[in-house]
Structure 1
């Protein structure tokens, strides 16, 4: 899973000739939105929608089948990238107090989205099971009866399955001012401290926040995933400082491609497709997602570098029809994420009740994707009308 982008997350390509870290040059032209971030975030959102329906045949074709990382890593990395653009520059532009208010406002929006998903999910399953049996894994037993769970869920002491990404994002965004302060002292120091915490969790996975519903704690361990968020913010700050994309270094490109090929062969479900097992290391255990194992981290960073250093990717995202459609989805990530998560729930209920035949597969997937694209289109038009009204 993944988390929505911050408000005012105009993912822009910064102005050239920036004289100092985070300080654009005095004669810099107006920045132009970089649609690659939006498009990549849109891809992640749609893959999360597909991945969270286990019975859907489409989830055999998402990136988790051809690599160690999946849409969750992509989304958290981009959340950090967009957070710097929305708030890292906001501290300088609007001042500390105003920017803290903006961060708090966004956290409240995320909290409302989490509340909507939890309430709708729990009571939808409770109502559905009155008419037909529902598999026990749809709802934790602690949530199946009464209302004693409410305060735990609202205080993030209990995180239901498939509803655990927004709490992570709220913590990461809430901690962004601290990371920004460290960045102002020294960028390398901020990244070093963040990486040290991540390494600590990889050495001792018990370092985690408690979860009433899971003795292992939070599935997305925030002490580990904060490093991916920090890497995204640092990459955004570095791009702003340079005033240009990451340099397209041939050796780096070759290394990234070779690593992604290795991860694809190692992670591909060969037996699921009835194919010979071509994994280079057959007995290797898949890298752990909960505490963001190094192999997963390298996977998502390789993808990010290849995209962000590619001028062709920038052009495709800005000018192609598919790129623009995906960017539109990515620009409204909170709304798309909330609606997509609830659509996942109803799709799973439909498949468990009526089977997962071809006809229902087609209807569910086409309807779900159609709703998400239509919602993104409507939200985009609504935002444009708002801006036009404000300008008038």
Structure 2
């Protein structure tokens, strides 16, 4: 079966780094409740948020990187590279899980506030650590704010055969993914979580955003270019983004909600994030098309110093994400136990973003330092 997918040009796409860095910053800020600074994040201005962006870029990047390996070195090599990356993310998740539980347990004891253990869904570990740890190892136990990595692990581990098919039948793969999304929403498919409930990010639904990212990387953006460049999308998409803004604000401010019919408000509030509501999916796709239209791959702004911290955080995304989850707990406890003043909200937000950026720069430097240097060329002999 011949290859029908179109691989993007070689070389780093700094749009992905910039947007993934932005998503990591936004996720950190969103994980701090009662924080005035997280009013700057996308979740307050439309149906989709940084999590949608993170999953889409993860699918795009996985296809962008591993499709070349699979085509150049075969399915087995490409597939095992994907599994190895899934394993790396799994190890990072387990390390973060242990540190996260220890952090919350220490802070609950330090401030004499056992409610923290319930607030972050780790009280079960204190009662039955062996069973809870086992459930964590199989990705069934997920404390609050640790839902994205298990989704990412599962999608990456299942991606090798999907990528093989997508390289040959990209549109059919996307269509099958969409049918699975519709079936999961219709039949209520999801995975069980421990001790009760289901996965916060339903993998049967969120897989479509991941696959859509892969399809977009492997020729989908070219196929959709007439629509992306059309005036119809500009006007209709802009109107939809404005509508999403109004509905989201209605969910934040009762005064706005009172101005609209109850049936309209109830159709979009609360926002169904778990099952990736269709209106949420459409909102993100419109945003993705707009960004593709307005942000070219060769934009000179990628060299501007102001964007370098975001780009660096995007390039070291896994480390930055894990540190952000860890830091958000400490920031929340500071606001609850020490001071919730606006200046403190700004301080913990700025300090956290600064630490995330420092981690990204350190990891970038460390990776370069770990690479073996090429031995110097021998001096030419007498015979030249």
With normalisation by structure 2, the TM-score equals: 0.87
Greater CA drift, 306-315 or 367-376: 306-315
- Is contact 1:35–1:317 with CA below 8 Å preserved after alignment? no
Shift of 1:37: 1.3
- Is contact 1:41–1:75 with CA below 8 Å preserved after alignment? yes
Distance of 1:34 and 1:358 partners within structure 2: 37
Equivalent in the alignment of 1:179: 162
- Is contact 2:227–2:233 with CA below 8 Å preserved after alignment? no
Distance of 1:286 and 1:263 partners within structure 2: 13
Equivalent in the alignment of 1:47: 26
Distance of 1:60 and 1:185 partners within structure 2: 43
1:64 aligns with one of 10, 27, 43: 43
Q: Unmatched 5+ residue regions in structure 2?
A: 377-384
Distance of 2:368 and 2:187 partners within structure 1: 48
Equivalent in the alignment of 2:182: 199
Superposed CA offset, 1:64-123 (max 9, x none): 111001111111011110010111221012222222221122111111111122111112
Equivalent in the alignment of 2:190: 208
Q: Unmatched 5+ residue regions in structure 1?
A: 1-18
Distance of 2:114 and 2:31 partners within structure 1: 17
- Is contact 1:246–1:308 with CA below 8 Å preserved after alignment? no
Superposed CA offset, 1:329-374 (max 9, x none): 1111100000000001111122221131134223211210110112
2:92 aligns with one of 104, 108, 113: 113
Shift of 1:269: 5.1
Distance of 2:321 and 2:107 partners within structure 1: 23
Map 1:26-45 to 2 at 5 A: 31-45=10-24
2:129 aligns with one of 111, 136, 147: 147
Distance of 1:101 and 1:20 partners within structure 2: 20
Superposed CA offset, 1:267-299 (max 9, x none): 025754977866684343233110101011011
With normalisation by structure 1, the TM-score equals: 0.85
1:237 aligns with one of 218, 228, 232: 218
SS of residue in 1 equivalent to 2:144: coil
Superposed CA offset, 1:5-38 (max 9, x none): xxxxxxxxxxxxxx973356xxx9x734221111
